[in-house]
Amino acid sequence: MPINRLIFIVIIVAYLGLGGLYATLTPAWQAPDEPAHYNYVHYVAVNRTFPELTANCYDQEYLTQLVAHRFHPEFPLADVCYENHQPPLYYALAAPIFRLTGGALLPIRLLSVVMGAGVVILTFFIGRTVFPDRPSLALRAMAFVAFVPMHLTMLAAANNDALAELLLAAILLVLAHRLTATVPPSPRGAVITGGLLGLALITKVTAYIAVPLTLLALWWANRTDRAQLIRQAALIFGVAALIVLPWYARNLTLYGGLDVLGLARHDEVVVGQLRTTAYLAEVGASGYVRNFVTTTFHSFWGQFGWMAVPMDGRTYLFLGLLSLTALGGLLARLWPRRRQCPAPAVALLIVTLALTVAGYGWYNLTFVQFQGRYLFPALIPLGLFFSMGLGAALSVRWRWPLTGWLTIALAWVVIAGLWGDALDKWAVLTLGLIWAAALARAGLGLKKISADWLLTACYLALAGLAAASPFWFIIPNLTP
């Protein structure tokens, strides 16, 4: 069996094992908003129709009590229904499982795990399409998407995130194929794209970035043929409209005005949720920015439960150093090409990331939602760029800059620890060993240690962290 195929299979099997582990070991309701998503599924399964978001669906004080008491059975969950405005597709798919299993939570979580496997698989094919000469990059991006602990948490919970990511990944793949194809587009391809787009629009609002992405890809692929552009756009968006317009019409009837997504009703209902203006008045602009960046980073990698259980500081330290190393390597790789326009498929990934970040920032203009999981719709581009940057930073060419960077990092950890009278000796020892290995590789005849081995070690460490997180963080801190 070819080595790349074996690695592909190993990553998928490892993801499914870890996903099942998280789904089984995470205490009930200890994933963000899980009770509200579950109650939506319950409503659809019992009533065979979709619910309305009403004022009694959200009680901030009661939610605080639920979280504080770790969702003890004496606190009923039936009225936690503030996700009732969500588009319906995920809940319609989960409702038969609810009916077949008598409402058991685990099978619904496992449905999300299976959908997440599709995301991991499509990551590989997107990487192979955009970077056809770098199959190892696609595999590393797969590992990144599969083993970020917080991503596993969300893909092993009852929510619509996994389906939204799956459909968005499928759209990215067909658009990337269109931008790299050498043959004219077919009507069948346009119908498939429109069908995927329509399904994304009735799954989750975070997937709505697929609309501008589709428009961008259409323009780029047909910019010299206006007639073809109009035909393709009419077919794609016509098919999507046939799927989504009945949902919009239903929402207009329920919520009135132009509230086709129920978001205006949602903003009216969530009374008591912390608003950005109030938080700015409390902590000031500098405090807001500091907390925004820190909490976003922490909760991207892993801040479990309802943001109540962060990882330990040592783990965040090494994840931060790894992230900065990848960023430095990416900048070093791109700097010589800074005046070149990226290939259209690469530009598609960049715009996906930019739109996701912009949406996250926009949401936080109204509500304080420093949750890195809102960046997961762009996890595939992030995984590809992260892997590209890390590969460059660990290459033999950049061995001395890497050693210099690790020297600075080690000095900073030591000085900051001594200054704050809280020196983490294990962190210093571990980082010191990494620094010594980098120095030996750079100057003592170990140059033949390739980046592939070092990258494999990094992703194995990430998978190890994902496997350990339920036992280190989730079970000890969230079990009732």
Q: How far is 355 from 353, CA to CA, in rounded Å?
A: 6
Sequence-ordered strand ranges (E) for 257-346 = 303, 309-310
More confident residue, 260 or 225: 260
Domain extent listing, the chain: 3-314+333-393+450-478
**Residue range 82-141, pLDDT digits in tens:** 999 999 999 999 999 999 999 999 999 999 999 999 999 999 999 999 999 898 999 999
Band of residue 168 on the pLDDT scale cut at 50, 70, 90: very high
Q: What is the DSSP string of 99-159?
A: HHHTT-HHHHHHHHHHHHHHHHHHHHHHHHHHSTT-HHHHHHHHHHHHH-HHHHHHHTSSS
Average pLDDT over residues 429-437: 87
User: What pLDDT is stored for residue 445 in this prediction?
Assistant: 58
- Listed range (148-162, 208-222, 260-274) with the worst mean pLDDT: 260-274
Cβ neighbours around 103 below 10 Å, total: 15
Average pLDDT over residues 409-419: 86
The mean of the pLDDT values for the chain is 93
User: What pLDDT is stored for residue 446 in this prediction?
Assistant: 57
Phi, psi dihedrals of residue 367, rounded to the nearest 5°:
-115, 150
Backbone dihedral region for residue 332 (phi beyond 0: left; psi -120 to 50: alpha; all else: beta): alpha
Percentage with pLDDT > 70 across the chain:
99
- Listed range (30-34, 122-126, 333-337, 473-477) with the worst mean pLDDT: 333-337
Band of residue 448 on the pLDDT scale cut at 50, 70, 90: low
**Residue range 275-299, pLDDT digits in tens:** 899 999 999 999 999 999 999 999 9
Using the predicted structure, report yes or no on whether residue 449 has a pLDDT greater than 70. no
As beta bridge partners, residue 309 has 304
Torsion of CA 425, 437, 147, 154, to 10 degrees: 30
User: What pLDDT is stored for residue 182 in this prediction?
Assistant: 73
Band of residue 5 on the pLDDT scale cut at 50, 70, 90: very high
**Residue range 364-375, pLDDT digits in tens:** 998 889 999 999
Residue type, 15: Y
Q: What are the distances in angstroms from CA 408 to CA 10, 20, 310, 438?
A: 36, 40, 26, 13
**Residue range 315-329, pLDDT digits in tens:** 999 999 999 999 999
Using the predicted structure, report yes or no on whether residue 342 has a pLDDT greater than 80. yes
Using the predicted structure, report yes or no on whether residue 447 has a pLDDT greater than 60. no
3-state secondary structure of 343: coil
Using the predicted structure, report yes or no on whether residue 444 has a pLDDT greater than 80. no
More confident residue, 227 or 118: 118
Q: How far is 345 from 409, CA to CA, in rounded Å?
A: 35
Average pLDDT over residues 375-396: 95
User: What pLDDT is stored for residue 453 in this prediction?
Assistant: 85
Using the predicted structure, report yes or no on whether residue 427 has a pLDDT greater than 90. no
User: What pLDDT is stored for residue 477 in this prediction?
Assistant: 94
Highest mean pLDDT among 18-32, 210-224, 419-433: 18-32
Using the predicted structure, report yes or no on whether residue 312 has a pLDDT greater than 70. yes
Percentage with pLDDT > 90 across the chain:
74
The alpha carbons of the chain give a radius of gyration, in whole angstroms, of: 23
**Structure token digits, residue 344:** 């259209």
**Residue range 64-87, pLDDT digits in tens:** 999 998 998 889 999 999 999 999
Q: Map tokens 């409702």 to a residue.
A: 95
Q: How far is 362 from 145, CA to CA, in rounded Å?
A: 24
Band of residue 16 on the pLDDT scale cut at 50, 70, 90: very high
Band of residue 309 on the pLDDT scale cut at 50, 70, 90: very high
The predicted model scores a pTM of 0.95
Residue 271 near residue 58, CB atoms below 8 Å? yes
Average pLDDT over residues 141-152: 98
Q: Cα 86 vs. chain centroid, distance in angstroms? A: 18
Q: Is the dihedral of CA 386, 389, 393, 395 positive or negative?
A: positive
User: What pLDDT is stored for residue 185 in this prediction?
Assistant: 78
